[in-house]
Chain A
Amino acid sequence: MYRYNQFDTEYVRQRVAIFREQVARRIAGVLTEDEFKPLRLQNGVYLQLHAYMLRVAIPYGTLNARQMRALAMIAECWDRGYGHFTTRQNIQFNWIRLDDVGDILEALADVEMHAIQTSGNCVRNVTADHFAGAAKDEIEDPRMTAELLRQYSTGHAEFAFLPRKFKIAVTGAAHDRAVTAFHDIGINIVRKEGVVGYRIVIGGGLGRTPIIGTELVEFLPKADLLPYLEAVLHVYNRYGRRDNKYKARIKILVQELGIETLRAEIDAYFTATRDAFAGVPDAMLGAIEAAFQPPEMPPEMDVAEAYDLRHDAALSPALAAWMETNLEEHRDGRHAIVSISLKAPGATPGDASAEQMRVIADLAERYAYDEIRISHEQNVILPHVPKAHIAAVFRALDAAGLASANIGQLSDIIACPGMDYCALATARSIPIAQEIATRFTALKMERDIGALKIKISGCINACGHHHVGHIGILGLDRAGVENYQITLGGDGTEDAALGARTGPGFSAEALIPAIETILDTYLHGRKNRDETFLAFYRRVGMAPFKRALYPPTNRARHESAA
């Protein structure tokens, strides 16, 4: 794992000092709130409904036990004992006092963490495949690229005041677990004629105008990545729209200029400035590369045979069920990838208590080479667990209420904070997630339904990724009353697709029955159990769902209510 060098440490400390000084100037009345707001946002501090919120970056989702314990400590000392992991591999603390932020940032700096550029119109926390370094289908660990980009984008003077935020995701595997098609820049590590390089996708995004990204470069040599991105950002900064914040993301520039014109602009700047780029010094590249080598294993591992997990499964049905959903094959047959679900039915998706964070930290340290990941699906991953210890890990998780066996299933719901916390929300999302998960797990439908991604956002900004949910739910405000729009068929992977709206929205009370209707339509219509919800939708389309959701009598009622 990457450890801060002296420069990183000095940089982060300096940023803490600068922020403390900015807060002091704001308190003294030297800075107005309008001037202060962008400054606090560049340090991850929002004002939400009930308090300030601090968003802490977890670069490319990687943490060690010490860092996880620091998050637990922050949750206990300065918040209400928990934190909320987000779809962008960040953690949010919901009950922060502005006066405490300096101390919290200092505590983060102590464990090589920060909240820099987790908000504002700048390059945000760079995300990556949460199975990086463990996935079987990986060409190269995407975190090397993501760390290079973290350094490159941090404090970049030219790009601190872009037209709008700028999100980059990196994947090194064929199966896209990082939603790269829906980022301002998606980076896919590819191999061409034996050489590793990048496929660059631009202008994807969710929000008000969901768009699947367009290929900008088919194959970019690795050494060109930074000057090329510099050209992309330069062109965006100069020509991205600033007159309308809903049209300010780079996806709109791609649409308005056309990919050819935009590419020509970028290429012109890239060609003109590339020679002035000396290249990343070998020592720096080497340090980054060294930081993402496979974990150092004890000598016993050299002779270890792959442990047969079927023994454990035979002894405990609960463990067997959990292994079925929460384990993923590791590239090294002696290990498995463990997903720890933060989606106990009825709990708040993505929330972990300080105590749970400590349990995870202990397990990572004891059994999993001190490595933890946060996934964009708001779960925690132990990427390298020796199979011999899967049972022990399961028992410890179970005791902490962390053994929900539901990864990739109905109750593994992504939900943004929604109107319970978020100042931008138009409706609540957490209670909807809670209700869906409790209702349908109680009905024991989950296993039968199988693979299903439900994603809920509390407003059009789509932090809950609803457009790419197999079932997406968007909470809106209809004359002061919460109303929920349903989309079907979204997919955030390499087969990227945007969900299509079923039709008119549903009140909070009508939403759960509507979801039940959708699930029944699938269960009754599928060819067999192997046909997943998404496959079924792709085969039959929207029509049967529409018929079931809006029978003629109801339709009249809907329209008169609309």
Chain B
Amino acid sequence: MIDSNSARIVVDAAGFHLDDWHKRARFTPEDLAGLDAKTGASGVLVLDAAQRVEDLTPWLNVLTAVEIGFDNAGDGRGFSLARALRGLGYARDIRASGGIHVDQFRHALQCGIDAVILTREAASRMPEQHWVNAATTTALNYQARLGFASASWRSREDLNL
């Protein structure tokens, strides 16, 4: 049971968890220049959907946590951002936050996003079982069949994490 009122909820393919990032420092791409590697590795880089992730290349093997903000459910830029990050070789956690809902969970997972951060209100409206069911629909994937089983589509297992 999740009963803390303060933390947000995180949902991954296995179900709901308490947000274990909420105590970590948060910074944006502009902050990166003034950060040392240790701080970079311990905090969360928060990206908005318009970010040119190609500019982050020097940081991609330092960072361990990236949060991509989705402006609203109709805005799919975050999916491309996640894929671009994976394509550039970033192999640690990516989470999505903001306007993303259960019917987009499959898309998020297939684009290399590991989990979605939910508000309490969203979590109560979209129960855990819906998310877990949605995660199973990733199995049927035309793009993987056509040869796109590439770095950007890699699963956690492939990364040996």
- Asked whether B87 is an interface residue with its Cβ less than 8 Å from the other chain, the reply is yes
Q: Given known contacts A38-B74, A161-B104, A237-B80, is B87 in contact with A273 (CB within 8 Å)? A: yes
Q: Are B76 and A237 in contact (CB under 8 A)?
A: yes
Complex alpha-carbon distance, A11 and B143, angstroms: 12
B51 CB to closest chain A CB, in angstroms? 9
CB distance from B105 to the nearest CB of A (A): 10
Say which residue of A22, A154, A158, A230 sits within 8 Å of B79 (CB atoms). Answer: A158
Given A157-B79, A234-B83, A273-B87, verify A152-B146 contact (CB < 8 Å): yes
A424 interface residue, CB < 8 Å from B? Answer: no
| B61 close to A (CB within 8 Å) | no
B74 touches A161 (CB 8 A): yes
A516 interface residue (CB < 8 Å to B): no
Residue of chain B at shortest CB distance from A157: B110
Is there contact, CB below 8 Å, between A226 and B142? no
- Contact size class for A? 35 or more
Given contacts A161-B79, A237-B76, contact A154 B87 (CB under 8 A): no
Contacts of B150 in A (CB 8 A): 273, 276-278
A18 lies within 8 A of chain B by Cβ: yes
Q: Is A551's CB within 8 Å of the partner chain B?
A: no
Rounded to whole angstroms, the CA-CA distance of A156 and B130 in the bound complex is: 21
Which of B76, B110, B141, B151 has a CB less than 8 Å from the CB of A162? Answer: B76
* Contact string against B for A residues 230-245, beta-carbon threshold 8 Å, 1 for contact and 0 otherwise: 1000100110001000
Say whether B140 contacts A7, CB under 8 Å: yes
Residues of chain B lying within 8 A (CB to CB) of residue A38: 73-74
> Do A226 and B81 have beta carbons less than 8 Å apart?
no
**A30-B125, A237-B77, A276-B152 are contacts. A284–B145 as well, Cβ < 8 Å?**
yes
Complex CA–CA separation, A35 to B101 (angstroms): 9
- Verify B107–A226 contact, CB threshold 8 A: no
Interface check B147, CB cutoff 8 A: yes
Cα distance, A22 to B152, chains bound together (Å): 29
Which A-B residue pairs are the 6 nearest by beta carbons? A161-B76, A276-B150, A157-B110, A278-B147, A157-B107, A237-B80
4 new A-B contacts at CB < 8 Å, known A25-B130, A157-B107, A234-B84 = A30-B126, A238-B80, A238-B84, A284-B145
What residues make up the interface of B, taking CB atoms closer than 8 Å to A?
Answer: 73-77, 79-81, 83-84, 87-88, 101, 103-104, 106-111, 125-126, 130, 137, 140-143, 145-152
